[in-house]
A and B are shown apart, each in its own frame.
Chain A
Amino acid sequence: MAFVPTPDHEDKLKQILNRYPNKMAACIPVLHLAQQQNGWVSDDVTAWVAETLDLSTAHVFGVATFYSLFNTEPVGQHQVWVCRTLSCALAGSDNILAHCEERLGVQAGHTSADGRVTLRTAECLASCGSGPMMQVDRDYHENLTREKVDVILDRLTGG
């Protein structure tokens, strides 16, 4: 089905276009906008971004696949990223990741069976002084322990 932005996103699109001297520069912000609404960058999203910004679909596809935060397939309702880079690893991120995998019943890179949570690893999220840490949707959770992770995951999985 063709992608149609919400009226609110139509407004945001106009604001975004105003910031740049050409339309191509809006490519990443507009992909974010569409992904917010659609959950992932589907072929329909790519086609809409290309048409809206007068770009080829090949260009938009090339951009979307370059950046790790654009989902090239559907994802769960909530996104969890556990940082595993050195400072966090020194603080015990392996433990936190293993705990998340066990609790959600999936390996990193996958979505829980109920479709609620996609668990992924992240590279350094600029929170190295408060590791281990993870990002849940828009929020950072720092100085994690297994207990803290339980509280967060309980909220996400509703149980």
Chain B
Amino acid sequence: MLKRTTHLSARYDVDNGHTLDVYLKDGGYEQAKRALSMERAAIVDEMKAANLRGRGGAGFPMGVKWSFMPEVQPGKPHYLVVNADEGEPGTFKDRTLMEKDPHSTIEGCIIACRAMGAHTAYIYVRDELHLSKDRLWAAIHEAKAKGFLGAKPFGVDYPVEVYVHTGAGAYICGEETALLNSLEGRRGEPRLKPPFPAQSGAFGMPTTVNNLESIAAVPAVMKLGGEAFSKLSTLHEARDGGCRLFGVSGHVNTPGIYECAVGLTLRELIYDLGGGVKGGQLLAVIPGGSSTPLLRPEEIVDAPDEKSPLHKWHGQSVLDVPMGVDTMRALGTMLGTCCAIVLSDKACPVRAMHNLMRFYRHESCGQCTPCREGTGWIERILDRIVAGEAEMEELDRLHEIAGNIMGNTICAFGEGTAMPALGFLRKFRPDFEQFVKTGGTSSTGKLAL
């Protein structure tokens, strides 16, 4: 159901919406002040009731994640690390929060620090986002000058410092353990889990990594109350609560970021918010960043089992299923970052896959053989297909290589490459075959309109 909300984006179109003055007029920092006098557990309970599923891609329940943080031991500081690496192709939501409303993130950091016994938050921002970093630093300085951060925020004896840390151009640093290595001044290579960050994260200390939008939503949760926040969503019963930023790009008339209650459908995102498909009919949609397998409009939900999270939509188009963490997973894809990429039928699916697989080949950190070699092989075969030089058997090779990556790697980058690859191959098999047979003349051979 399409329900526009303004809990995260109220100041997006306000003059100087990024400044403290405007934020304070909207009741800013009242929740941080209140949280500093609350018990840790009470804040965590509020977050649990909010059913906020992490906005970074994996959709883990945020309150549950916070509850993994142990009691504070002497000499073992806790850390909050905010993930603003925003590198997943198609995803451009966190940037809007940093540029247009940085104070909600800073306020979220104070509340989150209090809830997990941390006194230091690092916001890890990809280096390219200079305006985002400038705005966050300016917000930190403004908040500090007012006494909202520092040794005694709001006069309360609970020091909180927030720092911006910059990356240096590596998609893999968005993966939380790679990000921690990068924060520590190392190469951004993912770590084996366990140990999980809550046991041993930044600098070997208990750490929680949350996506920036997850943290920016915390003041809204505290203001509305967890349960009321959760009930904004039509998937509240399924414990997928609140509102979030939805993005749409590619072949639509009005690409952009739109805040809505959770429960929006892909059809609403593409046609109502995105203004419909540009230059043709809908060929496919990648629902939540390039690592999420695509869906085709012809696909029908097949969920006769009453226990299926999709049963309510049995027999309907996949485009009419509310976009939730569990509903998208049940459709064989993922909700991911909730930023969709739309392909019209004027675009060539073979070239779309080629474009993305080149990306993954470029970004593999190289630690695991199936990922390092597999992404290279996939790209090279696709190079040959696109050049009109490939044999039909090579399509099966692609399947095999992608299949061998699954489950055999240190981090989820492997699946994030293999799953969308298999999606393209399975759902566009005839197109790939035709492309190989005709050397590409059967297709538009293009991505742009």
Contacts and interface: CB of A to CB of B under 8 A. Distances in A.
A28 B347 contact: no
Contact of A126 (B86, B255, B286): B86
A130 B255 contact: yes
B363 A123 contact: yes
B362 A129 contact: no
Interface string A81-103: 10011110111111100000000
Contact of A87 (B165, B341, B449): B341
Given A25-B183, A87-B250, A32 B89 contact: no
A135 interface: yes
A124 interface: yes
A129 B249 contact: yes
A63 interface: yes
B359 A90 contact: no
Contacts of A89: 355, 447-448
A28 B89 contact: no
A34 interface: no
B228 interface: no
A59 B181 CA distance: 13
A104 interface: no
Given A25-B184, A32-B166, A86 B356 contact: yes
B166 A126 contact: no
A28 B128 contact: no
Contacts, number: 148
A55 B256 CA distance: 44
Interface string B74-106: 000100000000111111101100000000000
A88 to B, nearest CB: 9
Contacts of B94: 126
Interface string B173-189: 00000000011111111
Interface in B103-135: 122, 126-131
A125 interface: yes
B255 A86 contact: no
B168 A129 contact: no
B359 A124 contact: yes
B271 interface: no
B203 A86 contact: no
Interface residues of B, number: 57
Residue among B189, B255, B359 with the highest chain A CB neighbour number at 10 A: B255
A126 B355 contact: no
B343 interface: yes
A57 to B, nearest CB: 14
B256 A69 contact: no
A42 interface: no
Contacts of A26: 185
Contact of B163 (A19, A62, A128): A19
A107 B128 CA distance: 22
B243 to A, nearest CB: 19
B247 interface: yes
Given A126-B87, A129-B256, A67 B169 contact: yes
Nearest to B165: A29
Given A21-B203, A86-B90, A123-B363, A28 B249 contact: no
Contacts of B95: 126-127
A66 B92 contact: no
B171 interface: yes
B248 interface: yes
Contact of B187 (A29, A63, A92): A63
B169 A68 contact: yes
B405 to A, nearest CB: 19
Given A67-B167, A67-B169, A128-B247, A90 B89 contact: no
Given A85-B359, A89-B355, A94-B448, 19 more contacts: A24-B186, A25-B184, A25-B185, A28-B167, A28-B182, A55-B185, A63-B187, A81-B128, A86-B89, A86-B250, A86-B359, A90-B249, A90-B347, A90-B352, A92-B448, A126-B95, A126-B129, A128-B91, A129-B247
